[in-house]
């Protein structure tokens, strides 16, 4: 019986996700107010600091995704992909519930989350070509 999950392509999605989160981390660390403005949220020094804290967390997440994509065993990649599948979907949903209203950036950001979740889902259910 063939194993499920196209691990080699999931590794690629993890790498791409690492890049996207890494870029978001840079934006949050160095331009938190711009990020807040794009989301339609009024900035403040307290909120800027919170965004920078999230940026540091995204540095850790993107680094871990990158390392997993290259060095984890196949089961490790499958588990990381499952976690990211749920997390990316939740990110999309949570983004749409932004309290300030939906704008073009909110829609794009949510679609990125849903796109990654869909990619993980499709590749997790795909038959492993190496099996």
Q: pLDDT truncated to tens, each residue of the chain (131 aa)?
A: 447 789 999 999 999 999 999 999 999 999 999 999 999 999 999 999 999 999 999 999 999 999 999 999 999 999 999 999 999 999 999 999 999 999 999 999 999 999 999 999 999 998 765 65
Domain boundaries, the chain: 7-124
Q: Nearest 10 degrees: CA dihedral of 124, 87, 19, 105? A: 120
* pLDDT score at 2: 46
Nearest CA among 33, 27, 9 for reference residue 127: 9
Q: Model pTM?
A: 0.91
| Non-local CB neighbours of 110 within 8 Å, separated by 6+ positions | 91, 92, 93, 95, 96
């Amino acid at each position: 019986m063939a194993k499920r999950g196209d691990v080699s392509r999931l590794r690629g999605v993890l790498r791409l996700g690492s890049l996207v989160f890494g870029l978001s981390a840079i934006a949050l660390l160095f331009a938190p107010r711009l990020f807040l403005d794009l989301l339609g949220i009024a900035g403040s020094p307290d909120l800027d600091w919170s965004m920078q804290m999230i940026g540091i967390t995204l540095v850790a997440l993107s680094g871990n995704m990158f390392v997993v994509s290259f060095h984890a065993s196949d089961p490790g990649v499958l588990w990381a992909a499952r976690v990211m599948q749920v997390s990316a979907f939740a990110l999309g949903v949570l983004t749409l519930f932004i309290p300030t209203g939906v704008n073009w950036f909110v829609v794009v950001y949510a679609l990125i989350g849903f796109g990654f979740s869909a990619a993980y889902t499709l590749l997790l259910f795909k038959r492993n070509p190496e099996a």
